Amino acid sequence: MNGKQSESEFNITSGTDLAFALVVLISYFTAFTKALEISVFLITVLIFLGIAYIANGIYGFAYINQSENLSPKLFYFAIQLILGGLIIFFSKGGGFNAYILLPLAAHTAITLNQEWMFTTNIGIFLVYVISVIGYSNNWGAVWSGMPIFFAGQVFILIFTQMAVTEQKGRLKMEKLATELSEANKHLSEYASQVKDLTISQERNRFAREIHDGLGHYLTTINMQIKAAQAIMKKDPKQADSLLEKAEQLTSEALVDVRNSVESLREGKDSPLSLDKRINWLLESSKVKNREYFFHILGIPRSISSQMDVTLYRVVQEAINNANKHSRSSKVEVTLSYEDPGHILLSIFDNGVGTDDPQGGFGLIGMKERVRLINGDMKIETGSGKGFLIEIVVPG
């Protein structure tokens, strides 16, 4: 990087312009009041040189302060050093004109990097020495003014650097504050999106719980009541038994609803193991002319609460669909733990099957549940070929 970054945003430049103009004007005022031997011609020359020096020091400095290129900056300082040196030479050091170069030290601190700042300040010091030697031809004049000039140069460099560093720090803090505010805004938007997504997921979860749990019981109860109505006149005793079973299922449905609500609210697990709950589910779903079989392969092992609920609800929904649509005589449920890294669940009925296995909300809910636990679900069916659901989940 050849030069410093543009510092056009610094307020310090306006103060520097004012100080620059004041130093030049004061130098001229003291020069014209103390050096009466200066001719009218030299006064005219000095006035034009002073105007050029001030104009370039204000407008030229404003231009290079907005530029990131080094060349215009070095050209600016070269012009100012020539003009300043001529002013010192023609005024013969009258008043404070020997110190007219000092404001350039502040300009170097604002516009140049450290390497070029020191190089240019060496040039400022050499121009001062050459100018004083040029008009006085006396090293004594140089030595007498050198300590004050050098001290002033160092003083200006140090305090200008401090001001520049302070304003850079403030600017950086303001930028960081703006970025932080923007980040907070994006974080707030993200949090709102997460909240909406969470609400949507909970709604879907609640809908699945109602459909898979309560929907299953209502379907089974409805079938028990219809079966009782069909045999009421022929076999009142069997009809009463079916109605008692329907009544029992209503009680179980209420318990299941309470358990579902409790699970949704607090995440509590069922006290019964998965295989026992599936077995109980099949027993409660028995109807005339349909057999239910449950097979457990391998040794059951502990699984997560979410996986446990998912597998149970899938079986529940599959049996519910079989009872409503399959017209099957046999339903087989197989839960396999033989693969040490996965659990396989299959539900098969030998019913009418379908050529459109996409299904309704029940199958969609199954797929959503299985996807949430990183599992795979496959359906095999066809008209007159029964219906097979196979699920593989990690566990």
Question: What are the sequence ranges of the domains in the chain?
Answer: 12-181, 270-395
Q: pTM value?
A: 0.42
Mean pLDDT is lowest, of 96-100, 313-317, 340-344, for 96-100
Amino acid at residue number 364: I
CATH of 270-395, one of 2.40.180.10, 3.30.930.10, 3.30.565.10, 3.20.20.140: 3.30.565.10
Q: What is the pLDDT of residues 157-215, one digit of tens each?
A: 888 888 888 877 888 888 888 888 888 888 877 777 776 776 666 666 666 666 666 67
Mean pLDDT is lowest, of 119-123, 163-167, 342-346, for 163-167
Residue that wins the pLDDT comparison between 154 and 40: 154
| Cα–chain center distance at 165 | 31
CA distance 130 to 124: 10
Cα 3-4-6 angle, rounded to 5 deg: 115
Residue that wins the pLDDT comparison between 225 and 200: 225
Mean of the per-residue pLDDT values of the chain: 79
| Cα–chain center distance at 389 | 41
Virtual CA dihedral for 346, 349, 352, 358, nearest 10 degrees? -30
Amino acid at residue number 315: V
DSSP strands (E only) in the chain: 291-297, 330-336, 342-349, 376-381, 387-394
Answer whether 352's CB lies under 8 Å from 384's CB: yes
CA distance 294 to 282: 8
**Sheet hosting strand 387-394, strand order edge to edge:** 291-297, 330-336, 342-349, 387-394, 376-381
pLDDT for the residue 392: 93
